[in-house]
Structure formats: C-alpha cells, structure tokens
C-alpha cells in the first residue's frame, strides 16, 4: 500500500469517481423517470397483458450484466441497427445501457411497494371522501419510501455493474481527454488484470464508500418522508 499512495494519481481517481456518479446517477434518474410511472400503472390498473409485463420485468431483474452488455453492444456497434446514434464508447451509451439494466428494479420495487399499501389505503381514502384520483395520489404518497428505495437500489446496481460499462464504455482513458469513459468498476477490472491489486483495492473501497454514502443519504430522505 506504500507504493500505492506514491503511484496513485488522485486527480484521475477523482475524475473516474465523478464519472461513475454522473453516469450511474443519470441511469438511475432515467430509470426512475420511466420505471416509477410504469410501476404505478402495473400495480394500480388492470389491463390486458399486465401480468405478462410484470413477469417480463421480474425476469429481467436477474439478467447478467455481461449478457445485457453484449446485447447492447450488438445494437450500438457501428454496423448494428442503432450504430448511427454514435453511442458506443460514450458516457451516454453507458448511462442508457445501465438505465435498461436497472429499469426492472425500479418497476418491480415500485409496483410491490404500491401493492403492499394499495387496497386498504385506497379504500380508506375513498371512505374519507377522496375522489378516485385523490385516492390514487394518496396510495402513491404512502408508498413513497418504497419508491425512493427503488431509486437507491437502481443507482447502487448501476454504479457497481461492470459488463455494460466495459462493453459499451470500453474503459477509454486519455490524459485530459474529453471522451473518456473509464469508471470505477472498469478501472478496478483493469488494475486487477495488470496485477495492481493495491490500486484496485483503493478504488474498490472508494466504490463501496460511494454506495454506502448514497444509501445513507437516501435512507435519511426516506425517513424524512
């Protein structure tokens, strides 16, 4: 570890850490923006195909990130169907890939949180004079801690995954480069491959600290709600 503090460029570590936060934060925000309304819809409204959709999201919860990464790589590769978007080896590409990965988490946790409170809270609100729309709003507000949890879980899963960040991001790093895509997980993987275990450990600890810090802050928010 002595050589570590000598060799490690803390500026680069900060850059990689901030990129991890930015890329995965955006993925969690996008997944929450889409996933929360979908979760609400799946939990509160009966429509044809509802159970099928729920089972798809539940199945996608366990999809290996490398499989998702490979699938997205084929889609975004220059000769792939979405190659014209130019998202391969970009931060935005990683964010969108991670968004797809964590979307089922947001949908499933949101839907479950609402289902746990929905019937009794909905009926209670109705008996107190709420309109059906007001009762739905009350159900969602009662499920808010669970919905916040879905966003925390989404961020934590996104920031800690490797497959998509590596295959879509490519671990690109150039000093002072504007198109870098290296994030904490890809950097850890690279340093382990090079045998620089001490650097990998430091980066691993930083990744864990990020996850703990975000979870702690969000838990405070959850309690406050």
Q: Which residues bind another protein (CB under 8 A)?
A: 120-121, 123-130, 134, 138, 141-142, 144-145, 225
Nearest to another protein of 7, 123 (CB atom): 123
Distance CA 11, CA 175 (A): 11
Q: Kindly state the smallest distance separating residue 118's Cβ from another protein, in Å.
A: 12
Q: Kindly state the smallest distance separating residue 127's Cβ from another protein, in Å.
A: 4
Other Cβ atoms within 10 Å of 134 Cβ, number: 13
Helices (H), 45-143: 50-60, 65-76, 91-127, 132-142
Distance CA 1, CA 122 (A): 57
Q: Kindly state the smallest distance separating residue 172's Cβ from another protein, in Å.
A: 46
The token duo for 121 is 């809270």
Q: Kindly state the smallest distance separating residue 82's Cβ from another protein, in Å.
A: 43
Nearest to another protein of 148, 168 (CB atom): 148
> Which residue carries 């797809």 as its tokens?
100
Nearest to another protein of 30, 143 (CB atom): 143
Nearest to another protein of 40, 125 (CB atom): 125
Q: Kindly state the smallest distance separating residue 39's Cβ from another protein, in Å.
A: 18
Report in angstroms the alpha-carbon separations of 212 from 145, 156, 218.
18, 9, 10
> Which residue carries 């925000």 as its tokens?
29
Q: What single DSSP character describes residue 169?
A: I
Nearest to another protein of 140, 158 (CB atom): 140
The token duo for 99 is 């968004």
The token duo for 127 is 């008996």
């Amino acid at each position: 570890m002595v050589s570590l503090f000598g060799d490690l460029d803390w500026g680069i570590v900060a850059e990689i850490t901030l990129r991890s936060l930015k890329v995965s934060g955006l993925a969690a925000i996008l997944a929450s923006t889409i996933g929360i309304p979908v979760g609400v819809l799946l939990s509160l409204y009966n429509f044809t195909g509802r159970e099928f959709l729920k089972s798809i999201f539940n199945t996608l919860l366990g999809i290996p990130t490398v499989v998702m990464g490979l699938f997205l790589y084929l889609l975004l590769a220059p000769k792939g169907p979405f190659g014209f978007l130019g998202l391969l080896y970009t931060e935005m590409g990683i964010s969108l890939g991670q968004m797809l990965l964590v979307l089922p988490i947001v949908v499933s946790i949101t839907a479950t949180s609402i289902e746990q409170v929905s019937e009794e809270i909905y009926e209670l609100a109705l008996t107190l004079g709420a309109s059906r729309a007001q009762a739905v709003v009350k159900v969602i507000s009662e499920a808010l801690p669970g919905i916040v949890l879905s966003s925390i879980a989404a961020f934590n899963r996104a920031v800690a995954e490797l497959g998509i960040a590596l295959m879509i991001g490519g671990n690109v790093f150039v000093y002072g480069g504007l198109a870098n895509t290296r994030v904490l997980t890809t950097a850890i993987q690279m340093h382990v491959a090079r045998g620089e275990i001490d650097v990998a450990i430091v980066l691993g600890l930083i990744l864990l600290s990020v996850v703990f810090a975000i979870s702690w802050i969000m838990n405070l928010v959850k309690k406050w709600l």
